[in-house]
Amino acid sequence: MNVVRVAIAGFGGVGRATANLLLSRRDRYRRVYGTDIRLVAVCGSRSGLADADGLETGRLDALEPGLSGPEFIEASGADILIEAGPSDFRTGGPGLAYIRSSLSSGRDTIVISKGALVHSGPSLRAMARSSGALLKLSGAAAAALPTLDLIEHSLKGCEVLEVEGILNATTNYLLDAMTTQNLGFDEALGRAQAGGFAEADPRNDTEGWDTASKLILIANFGLDAGLTMDDLVVDGIQSITEQQIEAWRKEQRVPKLVGSLIRTGGAIRAAVGVRTYPLSDPLAQVSGKNKAIRITTDAMGETIAIGSGTEPLATAAAALKDLEHILTARAARATAGS
Ligand SMILES: NC(=O)c1ccc[n+]([C@@H]2O[C@H](COP(=O)([O-])OP(=O)(O)OC[C@H]3O[C@@H](n4cnc5c(N)ncnc54)[C@H](OP(=O)(O)O)[C@@H]3O)[C@@H](O)[C@H]2O)c1
């Protein structure tokens, strides 16, 4: 049986969920792809584990100090890297070195953190093209909500004219709570933090940066746009007042934090900010921690997807969807080469 070795760099909530889901699906990979998937290495910032025969679930709690870094992953002999470290779009974060090292040596790479892709997306794509490695990023580009998959598969051949996305679950929850439960911003945020789905420092979400990051990934990887954060106007929800909410309620309009892309005169303009929708608009119905995307194309009109899932499982599943696409592509490559 064909053996494919997988390593995971970044072993927090998402990295661990990905490892556990991957190990629980090994029978599926054997059955559907005729492939023995082995998890050969995992690492956090300072510790890790490696075993060329494959790690099992019971061993993943005892990481060994000193086993970390791109060289550690390189030495593990992995065929595929899953990167799930912290996200920092200003520097690229620690993921950047792992992804560069992986792509430059021709290793298929699944990226879950957004930072490196926002910071250096075009150069990472070029690196993948030149080494022949596949670069996948469903986990980074809104995870359980399909975004790039819709553009690359479902709408293939169409020209995308416009994208509107409710891409951040935390801000959607906050706006929903402010609108439907009459909570102020601080009270809604306190509830989200107590529920564990808003960060202690929520500004990356509430000021719109997380939405902007996902929008850049959709634009650059889905539409070949070449945008940087400097090209975007980014507004968040932190300054929304109870008076504004009340006025929107009277007008029967629902506020959403939306990342938007519009194609005008050959260029793509991008922005993040609050838009309001009438109750009849499907985007007005996207409640709680759900996310949504509306893509308008020249030939297929409007396509809308609404999705969510329990984290971190949903993000792990998005990354492993990428893994299955890679297994399919590898099988096609092997058939073409034989
Ligand atoms: N949580 C979600 O629902 C969700 C959804 C979509 C995308 N994401 C993205 O997924 C990524 C991981 O999220 P998370 O919730 O799992 O975060 P987390 O729990 O904070 O885990 C981050 C992991 O990265 C590790 N790390 C830091 N520096 C590293 C380095 N230099 N080399 C190797 N590993 C390093 C940390 O190691 P230590 O443990 O040693 O510090 C930790 O294991 C983030 O980029 C996030 O934006 C998360």
Separation of 83 CA from ligand 1 center, angstroms?
Answer: 9
User: Which of 85-99, 186-200, 281-295 is predicted with the least confidence, judged by mean pLDDT?
Assistant: 186-200
> Which domains occur in the chain, in start order?
2-143+313-337 (3.40.50.720), 148-307 (3.30.360.10)
147 has a pLDDT exceeding 90: yes
- Asked whether the beta carbons of 102 and 73 are under 8 A apart, the reply is yes
State the average pLDDT for the chain. Answer: 96
1 has a pLDDT exceeding 90: no
Confidence of residue 197 (pLDDT cuts 50, 70, 90): confident
Q: Which of 278, 298, 283 is nearest to 164 (CA)?
A: 283
Which amino acid residue places its CA nearest to atom 37 of ligand 1?
Answer: 44
338 has a pLDDT exceeding 80: no
Which amino acid residue places its CA nearest to atom 46 of ligand 1?
Answer: 113
Which amino acid residue places its CA nearest to atom 26 of ligand 1?
Answer: 45
Percentage of the chain modeled with pLDDT above 70 = 100
What pLDDT score does 266 carry?
86
Confidence of residue 160 (pLDDT cuts 50, 70, 90): very high
Task: Check if 12 has its Cβ closer than 6 Å to any atom of ligand 1.
Answer: yes
Separation of 228 CA from ligand 1 center, angstroms?
Answer: 23
CA distance 29 to 36: 7
Percentage of the chain modeled with pLDDT above 90 = 95
Here the tokens at position 85 are: 């470290």
3-state secondary structure of 160: strand
What pLDDT score does 265 carry?
86
Task: Check if 87 has its Cβ closer than 6 Å to any atom of ligand 1.
Answer: yes
Q: Which residues does the annotation mark as catalytic?
A: 214
Rounded to 10 degrees, what is the CA torsion of 72, 77, 78, 83? 10
Here the tokens at position 16 are: 């661990």
Here the tokens at position 60 are: 């993943």
Q: Which amino acid is at 198?
A: A
- The pTM of the full predicted model, rounded to 2 decimals, is 0.97
153 has a pLDDT exceeding 80: yes
User: Per-residue pLDDT tens for 238-260?
Assistant: 999 999 999 999 999 999 999 99
Separation of 245 CA from ligand 1 center, angstroms?
Answer: 35
- Asked whether the beta carbons of 254 and 277 are under 8 A apart, the reply is yes
Annotated binding site for L-homoserine: 199
